[in-house]
Amino acid sequence: MAPTTTIRIALAGLSLAVAATPALAVTELQWWHAMTGANNDAVNRLAEEFNASQSDYKVVPTYKGNYGETLNAGIAAFRAGTAPHIMQVFEVGTATMMSAKGAVKPVYQLMKDAGEPFDPNAYLPAITGYYSTTKGEMLSFPFNSSSMVMWANLDALKAIGLSEPPKTWPELFAAAKKLTQTGFPNCGFSTTWVTWLNIEQLSAWHNVPVATKANGMDGLDTTLEINGPLQVKHLTNLAEAQKDKSFDYSGRYDSGFGRFTAGECPIMFGSSGSYGNVKGAAKFAWASAPMPYYPDVPGAPQNSIIGGASLWVMGGKKPDEYKGVAKFFSFLSDTDRQAKLHQTTGYMPITKAAYEKSKADGFYAKNPALEVPIKELTNKTPTENSRGLRLGNLPQMRDLWAEEIEATLAGKKTAKQALDEAATRGNAMLRQFEKQAGR
Amino acid sequence: MSPERITFGGRLLPAALIAPQLLIVGLFFYWPAVQAVWQSFQMQDAFGLSTEFVWFENYRALFTDPAYYQALVTTLVFAAAVAGLSLGFALLLATMADREIRGSGIYRTLLIWPYAVAPAVAGVLFGFLFQPGLGLIARGLNQIGIPWNPLLDGNHAMILVVMAAAWKQVSYNFLFFLAGLQAIPRSVIEAAAIDGAGPARRFWTVVFPLLSPTTFFLMVVNVVYAFCETFGVIDVLTHGGPGRATQTLVYKVYQDGRIGADLGGSAAQSVVLMAIVIGLTAIQFRYVEKRVAY
């Protein structure tokens, strides 16, 4: 009758089992992560290399399920007193981690205490901005970052007389209409992560706020501003396009991405991390391109915001263990290692040096699709509206926003009604989070 | 019926015999239930760093939230549809399989199989069939001119989750109905046949009343199933959407507690859900059972 309790007990038991490894002379550092497949291999390889490079510490990576499951496992373990040292948390869990004062050890503090050389300016600000306070103090260590790009079927575009993907939203809507009339009746364009593109990225890309207080970075007493004129106009356009399927909805998350690689949707918005997937599955000429913008918005495009995850250091550990974690982070920041990680996984390089090195290696000449998200992120210096989001309960908030977007696309509400409702309901959720976490 | 009742003397032996059962029920039902009630009066951050006793604030938030009432209505519709569909379909299949036909053993075995499928897997299977752009049946429907789209049409989504949830339960119901049918003495049915009753009349006046204890039991089980055990199917197929069209009470508990990390609010919902299910079961035993002939 009480699933939450049962799940917590089960998770606590599970984490106990993991933590009950025998004590060794070397200090073990638990690293919980959510990477599968090739990325899991990369994680294991990093740990092996680090363990081989010195003899004082041993990083032990453990796969804990998807991002949400890993976060829940970490929370349950913390409550049971058996938290890992390092936890990989997706970007939307940032507010949850940040407001858990005492449960986490900020990275800038960690590096200072351990006396590790650490220069926050060595990292790409578009990435670390998401995980830093407004004063520029880095709270978590960026690990795998991606951004949203437009994946385009070039063969389909050629058939309607376009040699490259559309640059602006009006151009995109027009192209999509033509595509539905020439061989793609079910779908002109579509998107994964419907709120990430149409609310979060759209707002940052046009330098428009999602919420007050620098999108929540300045405090928990933030209110949503997702019902501004730009967002309303864009959602109205989407709903209009849904009628003739020049836009076709593919669900809240990323399960609809296969519609692109299968050739059903010639244009699909998705994470730049889909690179390997597209490369392996698409049987047509393809490219990735920056997200479109509305040309009548002054200064657009601004810069995009990141997706992916970062590494959080949990609180309450011994100084020696923290020293090991700090050493491991220095090890991860190494330019060659970062460049290699970037080039093998397709995730973004986190340091400027690794980006420069990849450029010098000629990596982007061969893999232009992987430079698009970096160019989007570094397009302009991030502003209050484009640094990132720190909204409490963002994973559930996205579901809430998606509910209202779905109502609009189904023709049950106007864009204005839906976004007003999404803001009202979201604000109630923010107040709830403020009460829970802000005390 | 039987006047001889076996009784154990003393107090210690009966207590010892019943203790393991009580211990298990206490540990796995009462303790979590009490925990849930206790937690529903608290407000807590995700990491449990600060806890505050807030009396009925979680409940007040619940009962002033229109979404909660919507979820309640959705749940009632969903439960009625799942129980009705799975019971009706199972009864039909059981009557068919009860006939004297060649290879009935194979049919019976095959019909029981789906029960071994986990709800989430059932969800994935139905997703493969009915998800637009992905599913075989969905494409077929669209090709013959039915604009099937559970991603945006709330009714379609509801039909989809009802089908998947009911499909899961049909085997279980089938098993009980078949056992019930086979327990009915052939002589009674033969007597009715000799008296000139046709198959339909025989079914409704003889067989169905004799099945009523089974039907009643299954009804209770199916309603509890639809209320409490279906979030796997919903999570995989619709995530409660589109809009909130398939957000049932138990799915809302999962969303708020697990995704939203609002343990107090989620516990309050669990308590209300528990009360509703206990109430429904009590009503069924109080009023419906009177019409059951054992």
Return the beta strands (E) in chain B as ranges. Answer: 42-44, 51-53
Q: What digits encode the pLDDT tens for the residues A290-321?
A: 999 999 999 989 999 999 999 999 998 999 99
pLDDT digit string, tens, across residues A189-223? 999 999 999 999 999 999 999 999 999 988 899 99
Residue-by-residue DSSP string for A97-124: HHT-BTTEE-HHHHHHHHT----GGGB-
| Phi/psi at B19 (5° precision) | -55, -45
Crossing angle for the helix pair B119-130 and B136-143, nearest 10 degrees? 30
Considering only residues B294 and A273, tell me which one the structure prediction assigns the higher pLDDT.
Answer: A273
Which residues of chain A are within 8 Å of residue B62 when distances are taken between CB atoms? none
- Contact at CB, A100 and B255, closer than 8 angstroms: no
Restricting to A residues 246-285, those with a Cβ less than 8 Å away from any Cβ of B are: 249-253, 256, 258-259, 264
A94 interfaces chain B, CB cutoff of 8 Å: no
CA distance A141 to A135: 16
- The predicted-structure confidence for A130-183, as pLDDT tens digits, reads as follows 998 888 899 999 999 999 999 999 999 999 999 999 999 999 999 999 999 999
For residue A105, list its beta bridge partners. Answer: A313
- Is any Cβ of chain A less than 8 angstroms from the Cβ of B133? yes
From the centroid of its chain, how far is CA B225? Answer: 2
CB contact under 8 A, B45 and A100: yes
The one-letter amino acid at A328:
F
Q: From CA A347, how far away is CA A288, in angstroms rounded?
A: 14
Q: Say whether the peptide bond before residue B242 is cis (omega within 30 degrees of 0).
A: yes
Least confident of A7-16, A148-157, A229-238, B223-232: A7-16
Q: What is the pLDDT of residue B294?
A: 64
Q: Write down the residue that tokens 């046009």 correspond to.
A: A206
Q: Can you read off the two tokens belonging to residue B33?
A: 């239930």
What one-letter code names the amino acid at A95? A
pLDDT at B263: 87
What is residue A1's predicted lDDT score, i.e. its pLDDT?
39
pLDDT at B176: 93
Q: What's residue B117's pLDDT?
A: 82
Judge whether B116 is closer than 8 Å to chain A, CB to CB: no
The mean pLDDT of A327-338, rounded to a whole number, is 93
pLDDT of residue B99: 79
Percent of chain A with pLDDT over 90: 73
Do residue B133 and residue A186 have CB atoms under 8 angstroms apart? yes
In terms of Cβ atoms closer than 10 Å to its own Cβ (0-12, 13-18, 19+), residue B283 is exposed
Spell out the alpha helix ranges (H) of A104-246.
Answer: 107-114, 125-128, 154-159, 169-181, 194-195, 202-205, 212-215, 229-243
Distance from C-alpha of A397 to C-alpha of A399, rounded to nearest angstrom:
5
In the block, residue with structure tokens 């209320």: B227
- Closest chain A CA to residue B44: A436
Q: What is the pLDDT of residue A161?
A: 95
Q: Which ipTM score applies to this complex?
A: 0.84
pLDDT tier for residue B75 given thresholds of 50, 70 and 90? very high
State the DSSP code for A130.
Answer: G
Judged by CB atoms within 8 Å, which residues 233-252 of A form the interface with B? 242, 249-252
Which tens digits make up the pLDDT trace of A30-83?
Answer: 999 999 888 888 899 999 999 999 999 999 999 998 888 899 899 999 988 899
Whether B2 shows a pLDDT value over 60: the answer reads: no
Residues of B within 8 A of A79 (CB-CB) are 47-48
3-state secondary structure A267-329: EEEEEHHHHHHHHHHCCCCEEEECCCECCCCCCCCCCCCCEEEEEEEECCCCHHHHHHHHHHH
- B105 pLDDT band (50/70/90 cuts)? confident
Looking at the DSSP assignment, which residues form a beta bridge with residue A144? A309
Say which residue, B30 or B1, is predicted with more confidence.
B30
pTM assigned to the model:
0.87
B61–A103 C-beta distance less than 8 A: no
**pLDDT band with cut points at 50, 70 and 90 for residue B50:** confident
- Chain A positions touching B267 (Cβ under 8 A) are 2, 4-5
Q: State the pLDDT at residue A145.
A: 92
Q: Model confidence over B239-256: pLDDT tens digits? A: 888 989 999 999 999 988
Q: pLDDT for A253-283, tens place per residue?
A: 888 898 999 999 999 999 998 888 898 899 9
> For residue range A349-405, what is the model confidence (pLDDT) as tens digits?
999 999 999 999 999 999 999 999 999 999 999 999 999 999 988 989 999 999 999
* Average pLDDT of chain A, as a whole number: 90
CA distances from B211 to A333, B95, B222, B285 (A): 71, 11, 16, 17
**A262-271, A337-346, B101-110: which is most confident:** A262-271
pLDDT at A9 over 60: no
